[in-house]
Amino acid sequence: MIPDWPSERRHMVERQLRKRGIHDQRVLQAMLVIPREEFIPHDHRVCSYQDEQVQIGYGQSISQPYMTALMAELLELTGSETVLDVGGGSGYHAAVLGQLAARVISIEIIPALARQAGQNLLRTGLGGNVKVVRGDGSQGWPEAAPYAGISVAAAAPDIPEPLLEQMGDPGRLVIPVGSRYDQELRVIAKANGVIRERVVTFCRFVPLRGDNGWQ
């Protein structure tokens, strides 16, 4: 029996997002219309709208829906921005950001996942303003900088300096920082040359790989 995916999406938005304090209507709408199941391997699609991470292969996972929505909301996007998505995975987070910004660069260090993300975005028709690149996300992607928003879906031991350098002014960086197993989700905001940082919540992400991540 094929699940009723639109119904599952509606329940996810109402129960996991809205009731937990996600208020940005553009974020809620993006999560409502994007078929998350299309970014999850067939063997795990039954878990597409559960309140948990889902494995996507290669030791990587797609974040729980609430964390995806929270990170997107914290970027405070209006629709005109260029955004960097670090740790692109299977492309779902890039798809969400693509509904909220003018242009998205999604960088993934694992070649097979980068190819998969591109295929997923093409198949769902959600890749029109999203460019998937293969590379070390801890180094950012200077070719398209500066970025009004940078979202990092992998845990860093410290905030990578290249990402700070590639932030626009104004600009916002949302990133989990901490050990391999437990982190703080931080927001770094730049305005008029002044950088402010705050901790939003505790979280648990896969480690950020690369020169400015975990070796």
Q: Report the 10 Å Cβ neighbour count for 26.
A: 14
Q: Report the 10 Å Cβ neighbour count for 79.
A: 9
Q: Tokens 């920082």 appear where? A: 177
Q: Report the 10 Å Cβ neighbour count for 133.
A: 16
- At position 97, the amino acid (one-letter code) is L
Q: Which of 7, 48, 61, 63 is catalytic?
A: 63
Beta strands in the chain (DSSP E): 54-57, 60-62, 82-86, 103-108, 130-134, 147-152, 167-178, 183-191, 194-203
Task: Judge contact between 23 and 73, C-beta under 8 A.
Answer: yes
Residue 179 is among the residues annotated as catalytic for this protein: no
Q: Is 11 helix (H, G, I), strand (E, B) or coil?
A: helix
**For residue 161, how many C-alpha atoms fall within 13 Å in the half-sphere facing its CB?**
1
Active-site positions read 63
